[in-house]
Structure 1
Amino acid sequence: MTAKHDPPAGLGDKALVVWTEISEGYDLRIDELRVLEDACREIDLIERLEADLQHAELIVTGSMGQPVASPLVQELRQHRGVLARLLGWLKLPDEEAPAAGGRSASARQAAMARWGRGA
């Protein structure tokens, strides 16, 4: 069983779930814990931006009087990209899902390893 790491102070509900699931489910190095904390902070920021966008106009007036997308839309897109990169840096294994034919990914990898050795 992996060691439990206390969550950083001030995480919101969704970020706290992500922190708990990942920190209790995987053995993370100190640098990975930092990346996880940054990802959780991004989750909180995304939640705040989404809440603000619910009460904002999607189309606003640009500097030349033209209709443009709300700056919140762009911010959300950017922060979602940052979150995806942070979580990707953790290189967590995919959860095993049955592949075609009912074989798991690990069984398929084991078979490929055997075949690659000529066994």
Structure 2
Amino acid sequence: MKITQAERRSWSTRARQFAGELEGQFDLTAGEVVTLVEVCRGITRLDALHEALQDGSLTVEDRFGATVTHPLMVEARLTSATVAKLIGALRVPEIETDATTGEVTAGKRTVRRVHTRPGQYSPGLSVVPG
């Protein structure tokens, strides 16, 4: 599965850099490409929210006159959490480059695939007919 040029043009510079770096280092499955597209859309939204909040106040008055957090701050926080979860779903190891030798290695944490046991989420589910 390929990402279209029209899709890439709609992303922010940071999102395009993130996608390019990830695609250059890893062979992604179709599902991972879909997740990557959503990550890049989220990064683009975060960049737009950051720009909108750049010169403004982080608080506003609500209709009752109380000072509350700016709605764009709330949106940025939620979008940031979503992007972090999506990046985690990609399960890509951290890549480290040794500054002296230029050697590229995966991070110290290993990527583990988690499998569930039958019945773990559905206690009534049984793998043995009976």
TM-score normalised by length of structure 1: 0.73
Deviation at 1:56, TM superposition (A): 2.0
In the other structure, the counterpart of 2:57 is 57
Unmatched tracts of structure 1, length 5 or more: 99-103, 110-119
> Partners in 1 of 2:16 and 2:86 — Cα distance?
16
TM-score normalised by length of structure 2: 0.67
Deviation at 1:95, TM superposition (A): 2.2
Select the structure that is richer in strand.
2
> Partners in 2 of 1:58 and 1:106 — Cα distance?
37
Higher relative contact order (CA 8 A, sep 6+): 1
Unmatched tracts of structure 2, length 5 or more: 99-104, 111-130
Aligned counterparts, 1:7-86, within 5 A: 8-9=7-8, 10-86=10-86
* Letter in structure 2 aligned against 1:93: P
SS at match of 1:60: strand
> Partners in 2 of 1:31 and 1:12 — Cα distance?
22
Identity %: 28
Q: RMSD across aligned C-alpha pairs, in angstroms?
A: 2.7
TM-superposition CA deviations, 1:37-80 (whole Å, max 9, x none): 10001010000000000132212101321111111111111110
